[in-house]
Amino acid sequence: MTKVTYISSEEKITTIEVDNGLTVMEGAVQNDIQGIDADCGGGMACATCHVYVKDDWYDKIPKKTDGEEDMLDMAFEPNEFSRLSCQITVTDELDGLIVKLPSKQG
Ligand code: FES
């Protein structure tokens, strides 16, 4: 189990324990975190699981694929810390990960 903190666009902070092997998106959906709709179910085809990774964590998570990069171009207000949460698999190394949700999502 790995702790992941989700911060809503209104600064509501929710920390949950996510099973290793699940994605940050799956952890959010299973725990009713508002703002991660994950319309495509993790298929990298919707960008409704877009998050901003807290800056000091950004370099600690595995790099984006080109496909993720392309989909992020279609996300709402992407920035240099943007990731698709369905593409971040939770591991022990990510214990304490913090992600923020874009304003259009929650
Ligand atoms: S859930 Fe659709 S791109 Fe992540």
Ligand 1 within 6 A of 24 CB?
Answer: no
Provide the CB-side half-sphere exposure for 77 (13 A, CA).
9
Is pLDDT of 4 > 80? Answer: yes
- What does the pLDDT read at residue 103? 86
Is pLDDT of 105 > 90? Answer: no
The tokens describing 76, both together, are: 């709402």
42 vs 35: CA distance, rounded Å? 15
Q: Of the residues 24, 36, 46, 73, which should be mutated to test ligand 1's pocket, given the most ligand atoms within 8 Å of the CB?
A: 46
Question: pLDDT of 50-94, one tens digit each?
Answer: 999 999 999 999 999 999 999 999 999 999 999 999 999 999 999
Local confidence band at 104 (pLDDT 50, 70, 90 cut-offs): confident
Looking at the whole model, is its pTM more than 0.85? yes
The tokens describing 41, both together, are: 């179910």
Helix H segments across 1-106?
Answer: 24-30, 55-58, 66-72
Q: How high does pLDDT run on average in the chain?
A: 95
